[in-house]
Structure 1
């Protein structure tokens, strides 16, 4: 009977300790979420900063996404030939008003390298320097509209899938970024 009582007391205190650790972990995860600064066009994370812009050119507007890397972080380029789950990717969903035109432009362009890590074990285009992506946009219907998209990539070495929404408004022939509502 004494052994059973001691066992129950030990289990009770261990459970309380685990709950405290779980609560601390959950609170830490919340604090590690990216912080949106400078209204909604810049997203700041401890390992990267994303900045969104629209260049309104004569022919086609261009979505510009600049990525500044911090703490020796890196990610897989959209130009990597192999299919990586966390490769840099962006989309606009299935809107009838706006679409991407042509290929995304990466500057500076990543270079393919051999990586012997067991999860890669082959060639990959790692992006390890501050990089800008430009994507031409094609307006399909000449009327006012709002669309929402997202940028997604896995930031290494912490190996977390990052997904950042963005919004684009087209009003009176001018395209601007708006706060994402998704």
Structure 2
């Protein structure tokens, strides 16, 4: 009988306690996301990527990608000569309106280090690194191009594919949301 009284008392307390709680609701606040932007950031547990479009006073454009590594993460430099399917790779897809001008610049440059996965030296990127790639605009017409950054992040061993879209409109270059 004592157990039954205790259970009834607990249930009654829970019922009274929950009926006195009020639910707070927030008004639907519209959020505005810009349709175009000159930089954006992607956060992951293993890295943070920051993309930026840089315009010089001479109307030259650069795509700048900063990679901040977390949790002892690493990836293979685009300057590694050996064939690896997951080394850092940047693409603008198929387009006649824009392409890369010259080689990508890696700062600081990756150095050959002993590969823990096999008996060889590899250009592993193990520190925060910036990549800077000049863009060559081939037309003054408005256009949109879809690009992709790809790399394998270790030790998680996942192929990361980061899509982005660049728009050139009225003489200004901006990122736009990559919509399929």
Following TM superposition, by how much is the alpha carbon of 1:59 offset from its aligned partner in structure 2, in angstroms? 4.8
Counterpart position of 1:159: 157
- Relative to the length of structure 1, the TM-score reads 0.74
Preserved CA contact (<8 Å) 1:97 1:145: yes
In 2, Cα distance between the equivalents of 1:85 and 1:171? Answer: 35
- Please tell me whether residue 176 in structure 1 is matched to residue 178 in structure 2: no
RMSD, aligned α-carbons? 1.7
Q: In structure 1, how many angstroms separate the alpha carbons of the residues matched to 2:175 and 2:87?
A: 24
- Give the alignment partner of residue 144 of structure 2, picking from 140, 143, 146: 146
Match of 1:55 in 2: 54
| Distance change (3 Å), C-alpha of 1:160 and 1:129 | same
Q: Which residue of 2 aligns with 1:4?
A: none
Aligned to 1:136: 134
Higher helix share: 1
What pairs with 1:109-128 in structure 2 (closer than 5 Å)? 109-118=109-118, 121-128=119-126
State the Cα distance separating 1:179 from its structure 2 match. 1.3
Q: How does 1:89-108 map to 2 (within 5 A)?
A: 89-108=89-108
Cα offset, 1:116, TM superposition: 4.8
Q: Report the TM-score when normalising by structure 2.
A: 0.75
Would you say the 8 A contact 1:56–1:174 is kept in 2? no
Q: Distance in 2 between matches of 1:116 and 1:63?
A: 32
Q: Render the CA deviation track for 1:135-159: whole Å, top value 9, x for unaligned.
A: 0000011111111100000000010
Aligned mates of 1:85, 1:174 — CA distance in 2? 35
Larger radius of gyration: 2
Structure 2 CA distance for aligned equivalents of residues 62 and 160 of structure 1: 28
Contact 1:167 1:177 in 2 (8 A): yes
Structure 1 runs of 4+ off > 6 angstroms?
none
CA distance in 2 between partners of 1:145 and 1:181 (Å): 15
| Structure 2 CA distance for aligned equivalents of residues 68 and 94 of structure 1 | 29
Gaps of 5+ in 1: 1-37
Which deviates further from its counterpart, 53-62 or 123-132? 53-62
Unaligned runs of 5+ in 2: 1-33
Name the structure 2 match of 1:8.
none
- Could you tell me how far apart the structure 1 residues matched to 2:73 and 2:42 are? 16
